[in-house]
Amino acid sequence: MNDSQLNESNPHNICSCKPEANCKECNEKEDLNCRFSFTKLFQFYCLFLPFAIPAIIGVEQSGYSSYLWGWALMAMVFFGFWEIYILCSHCPYYALNNGLIVCIANFGCPQFFQYQPGPISKSKKIQLVIGFIIMSGYPFIFMNFGQQYLLLFLSLLGLLIFFGGLFKFKCTKCVNFSCVFNRVPINKVNAYLKRNPVMAKAWEDAGWQLDKP
């Protein structure tokens, strides 16, 4: 890929969207999940499946299998459209103008929206939390109605594993810094922003103090 093609695919000059050769001088590359890899994508789904599998079986065993289509439709709308706008469009991975998202969670979803380099608003954070509550809570209603308490317990345990794993292994390194779940230390946030002037300006315009310790 020549320079003009690189500039077209990465118009905001985000370092995570550049060839990996540009990472040689970066001190944060080991502390941040700032590069896509299928290994990291696989790890994400491994965290999610202990919740999803017993939840699907539980709803089916409860006699409400037709409602799984409703859950699937909600997932398509939320994770494939609305979450993209309120969360993913602020992520550096989204800056790659590729038509499809190349990231370690929502891989392959269409890029309907423009990249937003600034931080996520409080309103979007609230919408994200509400969306996660609805999406994760949906199957428990039907497992409770169907008295599938063992599968309900396994699903709840899987959900705790999922979010616990995210908080411990993913959110502490995620470059979508303004996500409500993000746990990256401020000094690492500032170091990454300084490497990406477009992001840095958008964050400072939103009130972020770049040199804050």
Looking at the structure of the chain, the number of domains it has is 1
pTM: 0.91
List, run by run, the mean pLDDT of 10-residue segments along the chain (213 residues).
62 92 86 94 96 98 96 96 97 94 94 96 97 97 97 98 96 97 96 96 95 65
Q: Please check whether residue 60 lies inside any domain of the structure.
A: yes
211 falls within a domain:
no
Beta bridge pairs of residue 100: 110
Q: Is 100 left (phi over 0), alpha (psi -120 to 50) or beta?
A: beta
- Print the domain residue range for 174: 35-205
153, part of any domain: yes
Are 44 and 207 in contact by the 8 Å Cβ rule? The answer is no
Give domain status of residue 6, yes or no.
no
The pLDDT score that the predictor gives to residue 3 is 46
Domain presence at residue 21? no
Query: Does 50 map to a domain?
Result: yes
Contact 199, 14 (CB under 8 A): yes
Report yes or no on 20 lying in a domain.
no
The answer to whether residue 12 sits within a structural domain is: no
